[in-house]
A and B are shown apart, each in its own frame.
Chain A
Amino acid sequence: MSDFLSPNLVVFAATIAAAFLSFYLGTGRVRKQAIASQTKSHSLNQYYGFYVSLWVLVPAILLALIWMFAADPMLTSAAKARMLAAYPNLPDSFLNLKMAQLVNIAAGYIKAPDAVMAAQADLLRAAQASADRARSLTLAAVMCIGFFYAFRRVSPELRARVLCEAFLRRLFFLSAVVAILTTIGIVASLLFEAVRFFREVSLFDFFFGTHWSPMTALRPGDAAAADEFVAGSTGSFGMVPVMAGTLLVAVIAMAVAVPIGLFSAIYTSEFASRRVRNIVKPTLEVLAGVPTVVYGFFAALTAAPFFRDLGLFVGLDVSSQSALAAGGVMGIMIIPFISSLSDDVITAVPQSLRDGAYGLGSTRGETIIRVVLPAAFPGLVGAFLLAISRAIGETMIVVMAAGVAANMTINPLESVTTVTVQIVMLLTGDNEFDSVKTLSAFALGMTLFVITLLLNVAALTASRRLGQRYE
């Protein structure tokens, strides 16, 4: 790994230099040939240079990438074989530990504890050095071959521009495919780990179980619990209370954000003068630019104590991690989403509808409530759905301000947990990567991804319906 991580600057610089050199050689060759043969070359001279340097660079880059993924495992397995020979009776787990130590010794981070390890480290270093040499030589060879192939083909008749542009077009297409690859990566990684999770815990238990405590191990003999919980796993994985908590927080957030956001949007789009609108809209959008960790900080250390003290004052028992604090602050965060999306939607309602309503004698308020809002309704629904999706996927506020224990409650004064809190909790700390606990985080992530995806699709469909209505 060290090879890939500390990119060999010399090789890098040499490659760049080779690319530049081949550019000038290619350009020079076509110029000379064009003069010699008294013809006009097909493309501008620089395209011949590009053509040659592409043939130098692209195969070399591909080779370097392949090398990166192939060479290191080979080096490691060879070193492991040598270690096995040096320490014949070492159990597997110890061997892995020794291997990690060996890599660190070879990299010079730590000193070798004994002569055997020192010798092994020297061998590994030597192997790495020879691998590096081999890579440099292979790269040089590939670049030379690429250069001579392209260089010999350079002539005024070569359609260099067409070839270069075809290459660029393919490159552009590949970068567009990255978006698809990312989606595939997300779905595949979530699905892969989630499937491993569902081998241990049944789908039914996960989606309909009402008890979530992944951290508590089942004590043997705890028969009453064992009946209810999933037998044989480290905890119980029923996501209903987690989902309920997520929804509770999202509902509280929407209860704060929808009225404020919607009325703000009505004001900015229907009542405000252009000047007021130009001041108010960006100011509201500042709320969207504040990082969520700042909201989390505010929720955990200002809003939550405030609600708790308020509760004490009026004689209510408010948890110090109440859903109210987390949801309320999340609502503040969501206001700008609702206000700016709704503003767009309301502005998109054709003026002719308003004029018609005014013509029939409606007041401004009546026009808005009876005509504009109903016309904008699908778009508004779309905006709300997007906001809900945002609230469900929001992480930092709830991680900092909501609880960890999964309580099944609709009381906003109590502490609840959410899907995102559980994912963060399960995947930070010293868990081994393959335990059911960590896998359950991916199952939750999968659920979260699907829910937000569905909400987004629904939002898109809703706002599209608005567009169709007034085309």
Chain B
Amino acid sequence: MNNPIEMIQPDAKTQARFEKIAQGLKKRHAASRRLKTYGIMAIVTAISFLAILLTTIISNGYTAIQQTELQIALTIPAEKLQNDDGTIDPVKARNFNWNGLIKKAFRAEFSDVTAMLDQRALGEILSKNAGYDLRRQIEAKGSIPVGEIKLWIKTSDDVDMLMKGRLDRNLDESQRRLSDQQIGWIDSLVADDRIRLVFNDTFFTAADSREPESAGVLGATVGSAMALFVTVLLALPLAVMTAVYLEYFAPPGRVTDFIEVNINNLAAVPSIVFGLLGLAVFLGFFGMPRSAPLVGGMVLALMTLPTIIIATRASIRAVPTSIRDAALGLGASRMQAAIDHILPLAAPGILTGTIIGIAQALGETAPLIMIGMVAFIVDVPATLTDPATALPVQIYIWSDSAERAFYERSSLAIMVLLTFLITMNISAVLLRRKFEKKW
């Protein structure tokens, strides 16, 4: 070994000291390695938290992609629904007791069930909205099928949970939402092959409902999309103009400093405070409608404004000054240099920052709750001022419900939300990759 310690031939005392140092060195390196291990452990812990979070949500939610249906044979009494010319009378169709028809047909198959209470228990197997669904189906078709038909009808959420194994059969009957008798009926239906699990298209085509089997995320998704549309429309131009002003036109001084301080502070204000602002100013002072995506979008715009401003300024600064100098040198005005030369080159960065800000706004819940977008709304909003809810708020509403089936749907809604977020973030990354210029 080429050790300098040996070369200088130390005396005994020094030798002892070197040995002591060498001994200590092992310990000191061990400490160093320990620190590294702690770091690895911390990262592994953090990543496993992420993994646990995602697996919990996926394992809770994937079953909501399916919905239990039950086959029933029934005859629709055409004479009670049609006009003389054979078309369906909308008033008659609305007033007709569709639920009664389905329940009667279902009961007829269990002729041994006669007691009132038992009949009611039998009816609980069916969805409360089965009649409504059937009416919509017939209305959409425009004609009434003749004779006995076999129909697949949604079951109640409890049956759905049982079929998906989310309802524990071994629990004591009093603690279960389905009685032994009901489970017996269901088992007999399963044995007859008359219960099936199909793709839950309602989840993607309906708005909220009191019944889990009729509830969907479309209403909330449209509400979110509308709010974000308003957000982009307001925040993007404001942010770009602010950034250009601060980068190129702001005279150094108190006012400019104050603007900068404000932007930085707004970026750190808790989101719920923006909700309070929306409640007091937009709803209270200006009298705008409650629960409207328009107001939601305005609040989210104020909230994301700092994010987009900061991103825009960064991408403006990333454009080399030589571009601006060249433009000015060829006689462009400062405004022309900024708008015609710098902004187009900074556009990919601005776009990326905007997408990231919008993704943030999409996940935001608290300010929307403050302005009343937390209401129970069964219609898909059609205009910006219709009462609506948003995707994250829908998750919040559902996870508050007692029904196990809403828990499952909440998880699936989270997956939908995360899908949107991942898509937005990935597209931001790809955009940056594609357009990023190395000057």
| Residues of A near any B CB (own CB < 8 A) | 1, 5-6, 69, 161, 165, 168-169, 171-173, 175-180, 182-183, 185-186, 189-190, 192-193, 259-264, 266-268, 270-271, 280, 283-284, 286-287, 289-298, 300-302, 332, 335-336, 339, 363-366, 368-369, 386, 389, 392-396, 399-400, 420, 423-424, 427-428, 433, 441-442, 445, 448-449, 452-453, 456, 460
Contact = CB atoms under 8 A, between A and B. Distances in A.
A271 B39 contact: yes
Q: How large is the interface on B (under 10, 10 to 19, 20 to 34, 35 or more residues)?
A: 35 or more
B369 A172 contact: no
A267 B40 contact: yes
A297 B410 contact: yes
Given A165-B333, A177-B259, A189 B276 contact: yes
B109 to A, nearest CB: 38
A368 B242 contact: no
Contact of A449 (B262, B269, B385): B269
A335 B46 contact: yes
A179 B242 contact: yes
Given A189-B280, A366-B28, A449-B273, A264 B57 contact: no
Interface string B23-57: 00100110111111011111101110110010011
Contact of B42 (A186, A264, A283, A428): A264
Given A165-B333, A179-B263, A293-B365, A393 B276 contact: no
Given A189-B281, A294-B57, A394-B270, A172 B39 contact: no
B19 to A, nearest CB: 16
Nearest to B289: A5
B353 interface: no
Contacts, number: 258
A189 B244 contact: no
A125 B364 CA distance: 39
A261 B281 CA distance: 38
A453 B269 CA distance: 7
B357 interface: no
B269 A284 contact: no
B395 A172 contact: no
Contacts of A339: 46
Interface in B312-336: 333-335
B305 interface: yes
A400 B305 contact: no
B175 interface: no
Contact of B265 (A270, A286, A453): A453
A132 B338 CA distance: 40
A365 B32 contact: yes
Interface stretch (B4-12, B152-160, B187-195, B245-253): B245-253
A293 B395 contact: yes
Nearest to A171: B241
B383 A287 contact: no
B359 A289 contact: yes
B417 A298 contact: no
Given A300-B399, A393-B272, A291 B365 contact: yes
Nearest to A420: B272
B258 interface: yes
Given A172-B242, A179-B242, 19 more contacts: A1-B287, A161-B333, A179-B306, A186-B277, A192-B280, A291-B364, A291-B421, A302-B56, A335-B46, A363-B32, A364-B35, A399-B396, A423-B272, A423-B370, A428-B374, A445-B273, A452-B270, A453-B265, A453-B269
Nearest to B50: A287
Interface in B273-289: 273-274, 276-277, 279-281, 284-287, 289
18 contacts: A172-B244, A172-B249, A176-B250, A186-B273, A189-B280, A266-B35, A292-B366, A293-B393, A294-B57, A297-B395, A336-B46, A365-B33, A389-B268, A396-B365, A400-B400, A427-B279, A445-B272, A449-B270
